[in-house]
Structure 1
Amino acid sequence: MTPSTTPCQARSAQMADRFTRVELIWVEKSVEHWIRFGLAVREEILDRRRRVLSFRPGSRFALVRWAANEHGTVESRLDILCAPRAGEAYQTVPFVDPGGVLLLRTHGWPKVERMLQIIDVIEAAGIDAVEVSPDHWRHVHNRLAAGERPRPYSPTQHRAWLKRRSVQP
């Protein structure tokens, strides 16, 4: 901290550089955590079954968590998150430090599988899932939670989002 820097400014600068860390675990047919989409800026390999990915503030990613025991699947979850910026409110999520701005959350294999298909359709249209409008992910979350079919994400809608994003401060 320089003499002209206030403690508040120093903390804000420190938080701006803070990455969101996601611990991924892979124990075949037991515990499987993976990133479906997202641009990690750093990877740390802890051991042969665990690694940690780091995401810049504001970046979006999808985390899939699956676990089973001798009786079958015990957990299936998919979360689409935005890495929080300094001062931004966020939700705590297991294996995500400090947490993330929740755009979509679903659980149960049929819903997780449906979300993976929705992501595949978006990418098949030539759109990077990382760049999809956060509003669309919220729309999909709400429609799936209500048992309704979400509207598809079109290239026209995507171009409008990119234009809107380019003029936002």
Structure 2
Amino acid sequence: MSVILRPGKSSATEASSLSFDDMTRVELIWLEKQTEFWIRFGNGAGEQVLDRSRRVVFFMPGSVFAFVRWAASDYGTVLSRLDILRAIAPGCACQTLPFVRPGGEILLKIEGWPKVEKVLRHVDAIEGLGIDPADVDPDHWRHVAHWMKADQAPRPYTAERHAAWLRRREIGK
């Protein structure tokens, strides 16, 4: 089993200084209409195929990604969950989640298909603006989580807000 590197947004220097053991690993499973775990957005640094239905995706520290988990039994859906996480640096404190090693910073955690579907539509709207959801202000994902838990509609993410986030991020470097 070999790991396949994917060219991404991270620099070659950054990728070469970290081993895959230092990256956040997410195990994906795809058993059609039974268990389906997938990455909705995010820039993986590589992947390892374990078998026909399982693979592991690696994320560089600081990368933001959405991890969707869905499972069903003979009687219907038993799990619908969407987590938006920021990968952590080696040795940093983190929150743990099943199938995510060692864990990450949870920006959004939603359960139940109706709410998961609303967040997926929100992600689609952001992509419709030409913005990669992995580059969205992390505070916006927290905002969406809080409003969704209150059963309210979150504010839409705008190009103006994104431009302000990018400027703020540059100042913080």
Q: TM-score under structure 1 normalisation?
A: 0.89
Tell me the equivalent position of 1:47.
51
Tell me the equivalent position of 1:132.
136
| Bigger radius of gyration | 1
8 Å Cα contact 2:24/2:87 also seen in 1:
yes
Tell me the equivalent position of 1:80.
84
Task: Give 1:147 deviation, angstroms.
Answer: 1.2
Q: Distance in 1 between matches of 2:167 and 2:91?
A: 26
Q: In the alignment, which of 76, 85, 110 is matched to residue 114 of structure 2?
A: 110
Q: Distance in 2 between matches of 1:57 and 1:92?
A: 15
Tell me the equivalent position of 1:145.
149
Task: Give 1:88 deviation, angstroms.
Answer: 3.0
Runs of 4+ in 1 over 4 A off after TM superposition: 13-17
Q: Distance in 2 between matches of 1:117 and 1:19?
A: 29
8 Å Cα contact 1:35/1:64 also seen in 2:
yes
- After TM superposition, the structure 1 = structure 2 runs for residues 1-169 of structure 1, keeping only pairs within 5 Å, are 18-169=22-173
What root-mean-square deviation, in Å, do the aligned CA atoms of Structure 1 and Structure 2 show? 1.6
Tell me the equivalent position of 2:11.
none
Matched to 2:159, the amino acid is P
Count of aligned residue pairs for this structure pair: 157
Task: Give 1:95 deviation, angstroms.
Answer: 0.3
8 Å Cα contact 2:87/2:104 also seen in 1:
yes
Task: Give 1:16 deviation, angstroms.
Answer: 10
Task: Give 1:86 deviation, angstroms.
Answer: 3.6
- Give structure 2 stretches of 5+ with no counterpart: 1-16
Q: Distance in 2 between matches of 1:149 and 1:26?
A: 31
Q: Distance in 2 between matches of 1:59 and 1:29?
A: 29
Q: Distance in 2 between matches of 1:14 and 1:122?
A: 31
Q: Distance in 2 between matches of 1:129 and 1:36?
A: 9
8 Å Cα contact 1:16/1:57 also seen in 2:
no
Q: Distance in 2 between matches of 1:119 and 1:166?
A: 24
